[in-house]
Amino acid sequence: MSATDPGSEPSLGVDTSEDTLRRLREAFNTGRTRPAEFRTAQLQGLGRFLQDNKQLLQDALTKDLGKSTLESDISEIILCQNEVDLALKNLQHWMKDESVSTNLLTKLSSAFIRKEPFGLVLIIAPWNYPLNLMILPLVGAIAAGNCVVLKPSEVSKNTEKVLAELLPQYLDQSCFAVVLGGPEETGQLLTHRFDYIFFTGSPRVGKIVMAAAAKHLTPITLELGGKNPCFVDDNCDPQTVANRVAWFRYFNAGQTCVAPDYILCSQEMQEQLVPALQNAITRFYGDNPQTSPDLGRIINQKHFKRLQGLLGCGRVAIGGQSDEGERYIAPTVLVDVQESEPVMQEEIFGPILPLVTVRSLDEAIDFINQREKPLALYAFSNNDQVVNQMLERTSSGGFGGNDGFLYLTLPTLPLGGVGNSGIGRYHGKFSFDTFSHQRACLLRSPGMEKLNDLRYPPYGPWNQKLLSWAMGSQSCILL
Amino acid sequence: MDSFEDTLRQLREAFNTGRTRTAEFRAEQLRGLSRFLRDHKQQLQEALAQDLHKSTFESEVSEIAISQAEVDLALRNLRSWMKDEKVSKNLATQLDSAFIRKEPFGLVLIIVPWNYPLNLTLVPLVGAIAAGNCVVLKPSETSKAIEKILAEILPRYLDQSCFAVVLGGPQETGQLLEHRFDYIFFTGNAYVGKIVMAAAAKHLTPITLELGGKNPCYVDDNCDPQTVANRVAWFRYFNAGQTCVAPDYILCSQEMQEQLVPALQNAVTRFYGDNPQTSPNLGRIINQKHFKRLQGLLGCGRVAIGGQSDENDLYIAPTVLVDVQETEPVMQEEIFGPILPLLTVKNLDEAIDFINRREKPLALYAFSKRSQVIKQVLARTSSGGFCGNDGFMHMTLSSLPFGGVGASGMGRYHGKFSFDTFSNQRACLLRSPGMEKINDLRYPPYSRRNLRMLLVAMQERSCSCTLL
């Protein structure tokens, strides 16, 4: 495979990966990605990719995950388009040197933070939002001036195909490459040196990625997962809560890293929630959800079997049906679930919602705090105080009061985890910042050397007093 | 089960009580740090003199005053930094409360090196405290006098249920790193940096690594050699060269070298006298191991200035080497001593290529009367920080972030950057429990109309839509 052939197939295997990486690094070193014009052209290319291939992408997402057109639009295609547009609108502004305040010693100097690309970035995307979780980081990496290697998930095969075959045609292929493969190929890819690695996936693989990054001192963002708790106070309208929780739980057939994973509520509230959840499910998906065009499917056999297994935990209060031929799992609610059962031991990542009963807010908070910090945390209550207490006394990547992961749609809010749920933040300007190196710059005068006498040895007692004072003062009027 | 287990558990329990969350608590700890610096200033200066032969001036300017300034800055800005940061909303969230909440990570580990043992302990500590964390400090066992003060005296000025100092060498540090922390802040070399990051990876612990490298210093033909020599010499020989951001080597033309060498001699004589070993203003090498290492480097190239050493005094003279080959040891490792090699290049392009073939440094310097030249060096290279026409002055500005890139590190601190480093930025959206009718728009069964209205709602507020 020729490294100089612009129309070549995407790379496969170790040797061609090396060529690809070297080629991208050389391109980066020419400075090609630095001008705003170049970055703008790439972003515009991304925009055209999304527009030209909208139907193809929707079809691919439907084939991979049974996504409805609306879900594909609002959680994948349009979301990507919005990020592209936001970056295009703000690029020049984000790229600008950021002036900072000076102290007395540096009053006559120019002090600023310069944003620079890291160089060669690797983005590893998962299968659940295979377009969004590839394109959104890519927008940030491009805007920040990097060259990028994209590793889409081999599990969401149809989207992988579109990304591998079509996306490169819209980008400068000397600076961007898509590489394919499974866990083994990804492991090999990770032995190479990158200047930034952006990974979305499970904590288990996150540790592997971070360990690989450590060998080269490569900075990373890890967007991981966990079990996102959802506390429902007694003081609430059960139907409203049920609508909101159900929509966010069953969206994409539950395969969302920020979906409410389990509910914590009192026994009394549970008795009101269950029928309300049934109402919501029937309203959303009809009497036979399997026939609804608006409900997704499980990505593959492996996950289907895993979820089918979880249906045996506790007691099925709603749903519980499954169909292997279609990889269909009914929107399900489980009750009488024990903490030790599998459904409470792993991130569910499917359309199953366990309800766990607690006696009080305190017990709910203790339950949450005994576990790993989640990517998202939800609290529903008519009482502000309760929502605020839940916020105050827990930690998570993000928090939603009285709703699900709507905060994701605000590019002014950073998305990312904490503890086991991840490291780093992105979306909007946070993406640009993630993929930028912030270089501290001070430009001083080559003259006025007399002023420096103050700092040179031999030292007298007055040297250090004056110098310390000059260093400390930000707003002095001397000089 | 090792000796750290109990300490860590106690600190975690204290953190879980919420004690460190209030502004009052954090301010109290910061004021404690302030009192520690004031009450023990003399002792600290003596310890720094003992460990590194630091002059009172150097101790004041690069350790004590800097630490005090950071404490003061944090005290002044604490409440403002702690505040929830409101963010702008889209149409769908107009009536909601959207903000970023800053939270502590929990249990922080700060590992400190020996070269600025007070500064590199206290400045990160200020950030960790201001952000509301509990902290384990691991000072360097190499700078023994300061280690003693940090271990025995500093804890008295802090709430000891939330802060602990642990001691030991590489082995103990390795054991410490097996435990789970919520943030690790490490200052040291790249070799150990990789070990720290690998240990952090086992627990998915976020990290800042302040590492090092060889900081290039380009000197253009168009400059005043004496001015340049003064500036470079001061920053090179400060703390006997044991500074992660010191200019490590000079790149200049042959002609410039011939002017620089006598100018450097002038500067060295002006600063340290005819016999620098008798100057009270020149530091000493930290220990035998580093002394021997540096003594070895004196054999590289040709000594143009200095070159003397005295083992009993751990003294290395302010030295300039010329005719140095890229392959010699002095150009293969971070020097971290009072030795300055001059390498000749034919032009700016050659200098830039030389720099870019090597690992990205923590700092990069360029001297020229022409701002175009400065700007070119800046634009065509990368480094943690950059200073035109001076040495590491950029470090004294707490409004500038301090940290490396590539092999010189990851993460940033100083001033507000410290607070941000040790904070979890939590995205929060608080919505109304009512007004459920509005949500009808988003629920299945889906229609095209749903989609159109949802998309409008997702637009930024600045869109001039008058719907709703």
pLDDT 10s digits, A19-59: 999 999 999 999 999 999 999 999 999 999 999 999 999 99
Q: Which helix (H) or strand (E) holds B409?
A: strand B409-410
Flag if A414 and B100 touch (Cβ within 8 Å). Answer: yes
Collapsing DSSP states into helix, strand and coil, what is residue B427? strand
**Pairwise CB contact (< 8 Å): A471 & B230:** no
Crossing angle of helices B225-237 and B254-272, in 10° steps, is 60
More confident of the two residues B254 and A8: B254
How many CB atoms are located within 10 Å of the residue B30 CB? 22
Please state the ipTM of this predicted complex: 0.96
- Quote the minimal CA–CA distance from B444 to chain A in Å: 5
Active-site residue among B63, B70, B147, B210?
B210
Between CA B211 and CA B233 the distance in angstroms is: 22
Q: Where are the alpha helices (DSSP H) in B238-384?
A: 254-272, 288-297, 348-356, 371-380
**Spatial distance between the Cα atoms of B294 and B306, rounded to a whole number of angstroms:** 13
Q: Where in chain A is the domain with CATH 3.40.605.10?
A: 17-225+427-437
Distance from C-alpha of B311 to C-alpha of B238, rounded to nearest angstrom? 20
Cis check for the bond before B445: say yes or no (omega within 30 of 0): yes
d(CA B48, CA B60): 10
Residue B191 and residue A66: Cα distance in Å, rounded? Answer: 48
- Alpha-carbon distance of A65 to A59, in angstroms, equals 10
- Residue of A240, A399, A463 lying closest to B433 (CB–CB): A240
Using DSSP, state whether A170 is helix, strand or coil: helix
Q: Would you call B201 and A211 a contact, using CB atoms and an 8 Å cutoff?
A: yes
Tokens of A110: 């120019």
Band the pLDDT of A472: cuts 50, 70, 90.
low
**Inter-chain residue contact B445 with A286, CB threshold 8 Å:** yes
What pLDDT does residue A17 have? 82
Q: What phi, psi does A365 have (nearest 5°)?
A: -65, -40
Cα A212 to Cα A351: distance, rounded to the nearest angstrom: 33
Residues of chain A with Cβ-Cβ distance to B213 below 8 Å are none
Tokens of B324: 């140095």
Mean pLDDT by 10 residues, chain B (468 residues): 88 97 98 98 98 95 95 98 96 91 98 98 98 98 98 98 97 97 98 98 98 98 98 98 98 98 98 97 97 98 98 98 96 98 98 98 98 97 97 90 98 98 98 91 87 77 38
Inform me whether the pLDDT recorded for A84 exceeds 90: yes
Of A26, A80, A393, A437, which to mutate for an interface test with B (greatest number of B Cβ within 10 Å)? A437
B106, B405, B442: residue with CB nearest A247: B442
Rounded-to-integer distance, Cα B383 and Cα A441, Å? 10
Predicted pLDDT of residue B460:
58
Q: Does B406 touch chain A (CB under 8 A)?
A: yes
In CATH, which of 3.40.50.720, 3.10.20.30, 3.90.180.10, 3.40.309.10 is domain A229-414?
Answer: 3.40.309.10
Out of B223, B272, B430, the one facing A457 most closely (by C-beta) is: B272
Query: How far is residue A354's CA from residue A336's CA, in Å, rounded to a whole number?
Result: 8
Query: Looking at the partner chain, which of A420, A442, A457 has a beta carbon nearest the beta carbon of B271?
Result: A457
Query: Do B105 and A414 make contact, defined as CB atoms within 8 angstroms?
Result: no
Cα A243 to Cα A248: distance, rounded to the nearest angstrom: 9
Contact assignment for A444 to B206 by CB distance below 8 Å: no
**Phi and psi of B50, rounded to 5°?**
-65, -45
- Alpha-carbon span A307 to A294, nearest angstrom: 20
- With bands split at pLDDT 50, 70 and 90, how would you rate the model's confidence at A108? confident
Nearest CA in chain B to A236: B433
Q: B371, A443: Cβ pair inside 8 Å?
A: yes
What pLDDT does A444 receive?
Answer: 94
Record the tokens describing residue B446, joined without a space.
Answer: 């889906």
Distance CA A407, CA A55 (A): 27
**B26/chain A closest Cα distance in angstroms:** 17
Report whether A265 contacts A358 (CB < 8 A). Answer: yes
Say yes or no: B161 contacts chain A, CB-CB below 8 A.
Answer: no
Q: Is the pLDDT of residue A6 over 60?
A: no
Structural tokens at position A130: 């295979």
Preferred mutation among B405, B421, B423, B451 to probe A, highest tally of A CBs within 10 A? B405
Residue partners of B159: CB distance under 8 A and separation at least 6: B19, B25, B28, B29
Beta bridge partners, A198, equal: A123, A221
Contacts of A101 in chain B (CB under 8 A): 397, 399
Do B61 and A118 lie within an 8 Å CB cutoff?
no
**Closest chain A residue to B21, measured at CA:** A392
* Residue of B22, B197, B266 to mutate, testing the A interface (most A Cβ within 10 Å of its Cβ): B197
Q: Please give the residue of chain A at the shortest CA–CA distance from B401.
A: A440
Q: What pLDDT band is residue A145 in, cutting at 50, 70 and 90? A: very high
- Whether residue A257 lies in the annotated active site: yes
Name every chain A residue with its beta carbon within 8 A of the beta carbon of B444: 68, 70, 247, 284-285, 292, 294-295
CATH top-level class of A17-225+427-437: alpha beta
Q: Write the DSSP string, B15-67.
A: HHTTGGGSHHHHHHHHHHHHHHHHHTHHHHHHHHHHHH---HHHHIIIIIHHH
Q: Is there a contact between A24 and A11 (Cβ–Cβ < 8 Å)?
A: no
Q: How long is chain A?
A: 479
In angstroms, rounded to a whole number, what is the distance separating the alpha carbons of residues B100 and B424? 9
Do A261 and A367 touch, CB atoms closer than 8 A?
no
Greater pLDDT, A60 or B394: A60
- Is residue B246 a contact partner of residue B238, using CB atoms and an 8 Å limit? yes
Q: Range(s) for CATH 3.40.309.10 in chain A? A: 229-414
Q: Taking CB atoms and an 8 Å limit, are A400 and B407 in contact across chains?
A: no
Q: Which helix (H) or strand (E) holds A317?
A: strand A315-318
Are B401 and A438 inside 8 Å of each other by CB? yes
Average pLDDT in chain A: 93
